[in-house]
Amino acid sequence: MTINLFDDACWASLRPLTFTRPVADLRIGILTIAEKWAKYLNADFGFQTQEYLSIKYAVKKNASLFINGSICPDQNLLDAISGTKEGEFLVAKGVVIAFNCNEELTYKQAEQQLKPINYEFEFVKITYPENIFANNPAEIRKDFELLTKGRTSAKISSTNQLMGDDIFFEEGAKAECSVLNTGYGPIYVGKNAEIWEGSLIRGSFALCENSSIKMGAKIYSGTTIGPNSRAGGEINNSVIWGNSAKGHDGYLGNSVLGEWVNIGADTNNSNLKNNYAEVKLYNYETKKMRNTNLQFCGLIMADHAKSGINTMFNTGSIVGVSANIFGGGLPPNHIPDFSWGGADGFLDYKLNKMFETTEKVFARKNVIFDDTEKDILTKVFELTAPHRYF
């Protein structure tokens, strides 16, 4: 089977995380949304996304099943989608969930041209960035069951203290002298990932392929560290997409970090306001603050963003693509894409300078910073110009 995951209006509301990817490429739980659907359906997948992103995230021309990339799969959805016939689309409360069609339509065209089939069950839809960490504990549990069902964990060293049975190590995964507690959810350690000595980890937790947790880390429930990453310090209910580093002491809570992000030593974010009020986040559509209706909400940091040592982030901070933050004091809650500076003010982070840094970052992981990546970032630089207020 071949499927395409389409972006709906949530692509806009999920910015800045989606400036550099389709919605279905967001990671929540252990896998990206696209990987979840592919695993459940045993399918190859492509993307219906923004034109400038399609050079990297291409559509599959031979697909007849199109699925909303902001929706996480479950058994009821799988049954309903598998039951659709050609010329039908699945819809719930005005949301197009999926459509079955032999020609490449957009979801809006499908809504106009195909026969509606109403879906009556609840489902998880990722509409805003904070929905990622809010739904992450449940999605880790679902992905854990999906990935480990009928399989046996690799051997786990006896130097660890294991509390509970829902622990799964893939081939090459390692841990020594650490406490792994699954009383509150499962713990998944990916292929060739490593938990260093003295770490304290409470599930639900996922450490993806080729990543590591540094010595003495304190990791709380609902946390995912994506592939090829390094994490340390204190982390609570947060998602790091992958190829990123939060390797030092400092607190990260109720947060989402994108790809190629680096957090300097002793960087901290607040996830609770002093007056316990509901947290607001910057909205790219209105250019105003939007109420999340959450009391706990920390840092949303887009791809390629960096922070220097001892950076302090306010409750409900949005950090844009390729922003570079440093210096003392508290920077504003919205740090625009391609910003360079801190509490004392910002300048444009020039593309040529950003490219020089990114080429070095990619080289450290043996990845080529090619023209495709440069073209996408150039387009994002242009798109985000109206949000740079300095």
Q: Kindly report, residue by residue over 17-57, the tens digit of the pLDDT.
A: 999 999 999 999 999 999 999 999 999 999 999 999 999 99
Residue pair 194/173 in contact (Cβ under 8 Å)? The answer is: yes
User: Looking at residue 335, what is its pLDDT?
Assistant: 96
Instruction: Tell the burial category of 218 from Cβ atoms under 10 Å away from its Cβ (0-12, 13-18, 19+).
Output: middle
Residue 25, class by beta-carbon neighbours within 10 Å (0-12 exposed, 13-18 middle, 19+ buried)? buried
Tokens found for residue 233? 């310090």
| Alpha helix stretches (DSSP H) within the chain | 10-13, 33-41, 75-82, 107-113, 130-148, 351-364, 371-383
Q: Which CATH class is domain 2-125?
A: alpha beta
Q: Is the pLDDT of residue 140 over 90?
A: yes
Residue with tokens 């509301």: 13
For residue 10, give every residue at least 6 positions away whose Cβ sits within 8 Å of its Cβ, in sequence order, or none: 23, 70, 125, 126, 127
Determine the pLDDT at residue 389.
Answer: 73
Dump pLDDT digits (tens) for 47-91.
Answer: 999 999 999 999 999 899 999 999 999 999 999 999 999 999 999
- What is the average per-residue pLDDT within 177-205? 98
User: Is the link from the previous residue into 16 a cis peptide, with omega within 30 of 0?
Assistant: yes
Which of 323, 292, 304 shows the shortest CA–CA distance to 387? Answer: 323
DSSP string, 159-180: TSEEESS-EEE-TT-EE-S-EE
Residue 332 pLDDT greater than 90, yes or no: yes
Phi, psi for 180 (deg, rounded to 5): -120, 110
Partners of residue 169 on adjacent β-strands: 189
CB 325 within 8 A of CB 306: yes
pTM for the model: 0.96
- Kindly report, as residue ranges, where domains of CATH 3.90.550.10 are found in the chain: 2-125
Residues of the chain with CATH 2.160.10.10: 130-325
CATH superfamily label, 130-325: Hexapeptide repeat proteins (2.160.10.10)
Return the pLDDT at 390.
62
Q: Phi first, then psi: what are they for 290, rounded to 5°?
A: -120, 135
